[in-house]
Every structure is written in C-alpha cells, then in structure tokens.
C-alpha cells in the first residue's frame, strides 16, 4: 500500500497549523486505500541550506539524511501550509530545497490557510513542486482565517470543507498510485548508477568509492573463502586482495537485470575481473554469476547482500571457471 506524508509546514510557536494538520490526518486515516503519516517540520530542524543540490541523493549532514529518509518513505504528500507575506513559509521552502530525488515522480496536494485561505502560498508552492518533479493535483482545500477559525486561532472548519478534503485525498492517492511504475524506473536508474560506480571503483582501485556502495552490515557470499564476509571492512578486504594481484584492473558486467519492489531491489548478471597482473601478464579472468540485493536507506541504494559463484563439477568437486555467458 502507498504511504502519503502529511507535511505540517509551520513551526512557529503558537502556530495554528497543527490543528489543521491533525484534522487532515484524522480524516485521511479513515481511508483504506493508503497509509498516512504526519510529518511535523519541528521534528526535522534543518539548518539553512548547506548541502549541494540533491540530485545525487547523497547528503553530508545527518539531519538532511534523516529528512531525506522521511521524504523517500512517502509516495505522495499533502502539504499543509500557511501564507507568510503572500508566499510559502521559509521553513517549508527550506525543507523542500534540502532534498531533491526523494520528491521526484510523486504527487502533492495542498491544504492552506490564511487571510485569503493561503491561496497565494499554494500558487507559489505549485511552481516549487514543478521544479521537484512533484505532480500537483488541482483540488485544493483553502481555509480563510476569518470563516474557518474562531478568533482567527481556533480551527472550526465548516462541514463543506470535509468534502473538499476528501476530493483532494482522492486525487493525491490516485496520482501517487498511478506514478508508482515511473518511480520504479527512477529506482532502477539509481541502482544501475550504483553498479556503474562499483565498476568505476574497481577500475580505479578506489576502495573508498567502493565503500559507499555497500551497507555497513553487508553480508557477502563471495567466491573467495570464508563462507561469508560480514560488514564493509570484510568485503573491502576481499577487493583489496584482488587489487594486489593486478597492476591494472578491468571489470565487465553482462546481462544485468534489476527488479525493484519498494525499498528493496534484486539484480543479477555475469561479472568478470580481468586486467594486467603485477608481473605484466594479461589475465582474462573468469566469469562468475553475481547476485545483488540492494536496500534504499534514504541515503541512496546500497548493497546489503551479494553472492558471486561459479558452478562446480560434481565428479571432481572443482569449480568450473572457463564458462562464457
């Protein structure tokens, strides 16, 4: 089932936005076609943007990584926003600017409040959503302070607002669901990018670049003993050993498949390490069968499990190393 994040876009002491966001959340959780989670920006105190543009999904600050994971876990959003000076609250814009790929190919709807129902804030948010490849749905809930709030502070929405909210939620759920196949495509591209990074890391003998491709608790069933290598250090030790044999490393991957489901993905293909040995002799290497399991940690896709193997000859018990894909 898809997950919709209801983002509370005001962190101001004495804010009225929490009443509005709770109203949205309470209504939404009666539905059975999606799960809804309330995201309070007070729980994500981000600095003014200090990150590079988030197109790679790799972030330097712990707080950004936590925020990225929160956004990545959602398939769509309801942005609950006030209007400040005819525009979007700075705290909401800052949170939107902090990450990028995590917003992409999802849907967003708006519940706004203010003197004129927050309409001008939403008009500007629609432009921001366009830049983030976040599809904005047309139905909208606009809550004027003068009519929907007692003393402009106590939220008392008219019953007709529930129909507007239901329509908004219908659209956000439908669009978020419809965009799911495209999101899987994005994920596959990101995973193939990670695998390219591994191939580059091997060719450059760059252990630190390789480290970024594995989860800290990776369990690797490599061709080399022992039976398993647990943790990034153990996995990298294996690659470091390979590098001691080769002056120049090449790595070829064939017939790679990637299948994504939610935050997990599996891939398989045939891999071959070859190159020039330290004694100057060219080595063709052998083709191995490689299987990868990736997990999206919110910090990008990393390998949590891999397996490399060759078939063995039952009669001799020896590995068969001369097969070609």
Ligand X SMILES: Cc1cc2nc3c(=O)[nH]c(=O)nc-3n(C[C@H](O)[C@H](O)[C@H](O)COP(=O)(O)O)c2cc1C
CB burial readout 215-224, b (16+ within 10 A) else e = beebbbebbe
Residue located via tokens 């004027």: 144
Residue located via tokens 């706004």: 112
Please pick, from the candidates 16, 21, 128, 135, the single residue that binds ligand X as defined by CB under 6 A. Answer: 16
- For residues 82 and 285, which CB has a smaller minimum distance to ligand X in the complex? 82
Do you know the residue count of the chain? 325
The verdict on 254 binding ligand X (CB under 6 A) reads no
Closest CA relative to residue 160, chosen from 149, 173, 148, 172:
148
> 250 near 265, Cβ under 8 Å?
no
The verdict on 83 binding ligand X (CB under 6 A) reads yes
Please pick, from the candidates 2, 5, 17, 99, the single residue that binds ligand X as defined by CB under 6 A. Answer: 17
Choose the stretch contacting ligand X; rule: CB under 6 A; options: 43-51, 61-69, 83-91, 96-104.
Answer: 83-91
- Residues 89-118 binding ligand X (CB under 6 A) are 114-116
The verdict on 271 binding ligand X (CB under 6 A) reads no
The verdict on 148 binding ligand X (CB under 6 A) reads no
The verdict on 85 binding ligand X (CB under 6 A) reads yes
The verdict on 86 binding ligand X (CB under 6 A) reads yes
Question: Six-digit token pair at 215?
Answer: 């989860």
- For residues 78 and 236, which CB has a smaller minimum distance to ligand X in the complex? 78
The verdict on 15 binding ligand X (CB under 6 A) reads yes
The verdict on 248 binding ligand X (CB under 6 A) reads no
The verdict on 10 binding ligand X (CB under 6 A) reads yes
CB of 213 to ligand X, least distance (A): 42
Which H or E element spans position 261? strand 246-261
Angle between helices 17-28 and 160-178 (to 10 degrees): 70
- Which residue number places its CB atom closest to ligand X? 115
DSSP string for 139-199? EEEEEEHHHHEETTTEE---THHHHHHHHHHHHHHHHHHHTHHHHHHHHHHHHHHHHHHHH
CB of 141 to ligand X, least distance (A): 15
The verdict on 157 binding ligand X (CB under 6 A) reads no
Site residues for ligand X per CB under 6 A = 10, 12, 15-17, 82-86, 114-116
């Amino acid at each position: 089932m898809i997950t919709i994040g209801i983002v509370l876009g005001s962190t101001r002491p004495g804010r009225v936005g929490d009443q509005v966001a709770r109203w949205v959340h309470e209504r939404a959780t009666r539905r059975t076609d999606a799960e809804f989670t309330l995201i309070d920006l007070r729980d994500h105190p981000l600095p003014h943007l200090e990150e590079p543009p988030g197109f790679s999904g790799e972030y330097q600050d712990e707080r950004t990584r936590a925020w990225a994971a929160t956004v990545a876990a959602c398939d769509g959003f309801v942005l609950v926003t006030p209007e400040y000076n005819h525009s979007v609250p700075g705290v909401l814009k800052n949170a939107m600017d902090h990450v990028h790929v995590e917003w992409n190919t999802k849907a967003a709807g708006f519940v706004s409040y203010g003197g004129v129902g927050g309409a001008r804030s939403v008009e500007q948010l629609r432009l921001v959503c366009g830049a983030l490849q976040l599809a904005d749905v047309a139905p909208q809930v606009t809550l004027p302070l003068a009519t929907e709030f007692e003393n402009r502070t106590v939220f008392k929405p008219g019953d007709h607002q529930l129909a507007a909210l239901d329509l908004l939620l219908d659209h956000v759920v439908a669009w978020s669901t419809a965009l799911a196949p495209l999101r899987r495509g994005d994920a596959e591209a990101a995973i193939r990018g990670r695998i390219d990074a591994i191939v580059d890391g091997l060719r450059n003998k760059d252990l630190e670049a390789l480290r970024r491709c594995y989860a800290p608790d990776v369990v690797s069933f490599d061709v080399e003993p022992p039976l398993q290598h647990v943790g990034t250090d153990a996995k990298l030790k294996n690659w470091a050993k390979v590098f001691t044999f080769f002056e120049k490393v090449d790595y070829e991957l064939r017939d790679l498949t990637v299948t994504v489901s939610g935050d997990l993905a599996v891939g398989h293909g045939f891999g071959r390490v070859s190159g020039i040995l330290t004694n100057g002799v060219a080595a063709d290497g052998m083709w191995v069968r490689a299987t990868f399991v990736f997990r999206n940690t919110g910090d990008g896709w990393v390998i949590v499990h891999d397996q490399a193997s060759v078939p063995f000859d039952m009669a001799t018990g020896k590995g068969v190393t001369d097969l070609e894909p």
